[in-house]
């Protein structure tokens, strides 16, 4: 039997009021049901400053100057795969996600990945842009992007949090389950081949 796939679920929004953490809480069990051991990396909690490494990640050989970079690198290196959960802000993905990507380089090469975007229309524009960047850093995107639609008139409460995150995710359960199964199967195939 193959070991359980270790999946890093990255919550991409670092805004003080956000819904990514609510969505992650609903997506995590779907990944686990597909056979993943899930670690959540919340970029708001990780608190990476704007990129401050003195050497480009591609030239660093993984020898980083700052503890926050070494912590982030360790989370990514320890994972068999990464699931990016990103909102769409003004037609793109947030700076917190780009910053987190730019801190590292060799860690992304060949890393199986899945991209889940969300927003009023599913976050497709931001998801497409992020996919392009992840492909550039040689991430292995193993399934089509999953887009979670959050209609503003029905999804959000007066506190700008989701009223019912479980229902919002449930509408996309089939896509999420299929993508999660594809990701875990891909990791299993890589483990067998390796």
- Print burial letters for 10-39: b (CB count within 10 Å at least 16), e (below 16): bbbbbeeebbbbbbbebbbebbeebbbebe
Average pLDDT of the chain to the nearest whole number: 96
Tell me the pairing of strands 140-141 and 112-119. Answer: parallel
Task: Indicate whether 3 pLDDT > 80.
Answer: no
pLDDT value for 151:
86
Euclidean distance between CA atoms 23 and 168, whole angstroms? 8
Domain tally, the chain: 1
| Domain limits for position 114 | 5-193
Euclidean distance between CA atoms 21 and 131, whole angstroms? 21
pLDDT value for 193:
81
Closest to 89 in 3D by CA, of 191, 11, 15: 15
Task: Indicate whether 1 pLDDT > 60.
Answer: no
CA distance between the termini of the chain: 14
Q: Give the pLDDT confidence of 80-107 residue by residue, as tens digits.
A: 999 999 999 999 999 999 999 999 999 9
Q: Give the pLDDT confidence of 44-56 residue by residue, as tens digits.
A: 999 999 999 999 9
Task: Indicate whether 64 pLDDT > 80.
Answer: yes
Helix axis angle, 124-136 relative to 95-103, nearest 10°? 10
Euclidean distance between CA atoms 32 and 76, whole angstroms? 18
pLDDT value for 32:
98
- Look up residue 16 and give its two tokens: 């003080």
Q: Give the pLDDT confidence of 122-148 residue by residue, as tens digits.
A: 999 999 999 999 999 999 999 999 999
- Any idea what the CATH number is for the domain that residue 128 is in? 3.40.50.360
Q: Which residue has the higher pLDDT, 110 or 1?
A: 110
CA distances from 51 to 44, 80, 174, 191 (A): 15, 24, 37, 32
pLDDT value for 192:
83
pLDDT value for 2:
56
Are 36 and 6 in contact by the 8 Å Cβ rule? The answer is yes
Provide the percentage of residues in the chain whose pLDDT is more than 70: 98
Euclidean distance between CA atoms 173 and 162, whole angstroms? 17
């Amino acid at each position: 039997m193959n070991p359980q796939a270790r999946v890093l679920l990255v919550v991409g929004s670092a805004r003080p009021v956000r819904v990514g953490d609510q969505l992650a809480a609903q997506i995590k069990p779907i990944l686990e049901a597909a056979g993943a051991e899930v670690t959540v990396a919340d970029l708001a909690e990780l608190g990476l400053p704007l990129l401050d490494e003195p050497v480009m990640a591609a030239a660093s050989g993984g020898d980083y100057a700052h503890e926050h970079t070494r912590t982030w690198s360790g989370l990514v290196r320890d994972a068999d795969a990464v699931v990016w959960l990103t909102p769409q802000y003004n037609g793109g993905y947030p700076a917190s996600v780009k910053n987190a990507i730019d801190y590292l380089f060799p860690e992304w090469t060949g890393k199986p990945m899945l991209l889940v975007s969300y927003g009023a229309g599913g976050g497709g524009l931001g998801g497409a842009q992020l996919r392009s960047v992840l492909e550039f850093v040689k991430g292995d995107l193993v399934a089509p992007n999953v887009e979670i639609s959050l209609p503003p008139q029905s999804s959000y409460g007066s506190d700008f949090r989701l009223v019912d995150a479980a229902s919002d995710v449930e509408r996309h359960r089939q896509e999420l389950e299929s993508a999660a199964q594809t990701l875990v199967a891909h990791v299993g195939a890589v483990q067998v081949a390796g």
